[in-house]
Amino acid sequence: MGKQSAIQWTEATWNPVRGCSRVSEGCRHCYAETFGGRFAGEGQPWHGFITKHRPGPDGEPVETEPRWTGRVEVIESRLNEPRRWKDPRLVFVNSMSDLFHEKLAFEEIDRVFRVMLQTPQHTYQVLTKRPERASEYLWARSGSTNRLYLPNVWLGTSAEDQATLDARAPHLLGAPAALHFLSLEPLLGPVDASRYMWPVHAVWSSKYNTPEEALADGALVDYRRQALVSADRSYVKWVIVGGESGFSARPMHPAWARSLRDQCAKSGTAFFFKQEGAWTTRRPSNDKWNARETVALSDDGTHFYGIDPATTSMPRGMVTLFRYVGKNADPEDWPEDMRVREMPEVIA
């Protein structure tokens, strides 16, 4: 990936690491795994990182969908790319991998962070599904007195439902970073993230009387809301929400996205609606639904595929019909109340 990015919430992508492995249901249709599978042949960049074969019943290889092999490495040819970018930019780190994968030793991760340290003109967005290892690494490198390892690094974790969010968010907020964010994409169920936002999440506390008193004690101070947050407490300042793309994508209920938008608005958290995914609630122009490309979805995430509204009685509790349209990249097609793309306000 080059210095320009089609990902709407960043300006550039930088992939100094190649390879990964699945850790949760949100990984099922991993775009990096699919993309890498196109270049996994012998002599190609992803050879050895992705396989498209598995042993068959007779021991002979059988072709299957692309899957990670578990090999993860720092890619020398990509490592120093940001050094050549003179203009400041937002940089999404490892859009095709996970910097905190367990196969990477801390010394290898050091090499990536060294580049970030030596290019302070850029702001780096590091997104991981392994925030517990990110926290372990960042505390190991920050030491007991220097709580913030790098002031130009935003740390985020991705989650697809309530269970994965609740498992990962506490580790995220326990890691020292200039800013903490969530990527709830693909969103596969209703999520309450408000407990991790200012000022209502469970670990938030205010023990200072003035910003000066907080700063003197090494605390993080948000002047926009005059919040005084102790140095060992943190909260999410940005939430990205999106549906799943691709042929086998699962639909995202608009109520789930709107709920997160409202949670962010209530707490003053920046909200970024990336896309609705491969399924839309917009009615077809001829008002005819193709049962093979229609799914009904309840608020709790129960799916009913192959629904024909003309002949099928809706299951009890059904609220919304979706039709398959592929990836929707045009925000002008979204419902007007969901055309929200806020960036976090960073206080120096």
Contacts 24+ apart (CB under 8 A), 218-227: 218/147, 221/347, 222/198, 222/347, 223/347, 224/268, 224/345, 224/347, 225/198, 225/199, 225/268, 227/198, 227/199
Domain boundaries, the chain: 12-275, 279-334
Query: What topology does CATH give the domain 12-275?
Result: pyruvate-formate lyase- activating enzyme (3.80.30)
Q: Looking at residue 328, what is its pLDDT?
A: 60
pTM of the model: 0.84
pLDDT digits (tens, 9 = 90+) for 21-78: 999 999 998 888 888 888 888 899 999 999 987 766 776 667 778 999 999 999 999 9
| Residue in the block written with tokens 């580790």 | 171
Average pLDDT for residues 244-267, to the nearest whole number? 90
Pairing status of strand 294-297 against strand 123-128? unpaired
Structure tokens given for 28: 């099922």
> Which of 22-26, 205-209, 300-304 shows the lowest per-residue confidence on average (mean pLDDT)?
205-209
Task: Give the DSSP H/E element, type plus range, for residue 137.
Answer: helix 131-142
Give the span between the Cα atoms of 62 and 337, in whole angstroms.
47
pLDDT digits (tens, 9 = 90+) for 99-130: 999 999 999 999 999 999 999 999 999 999 99
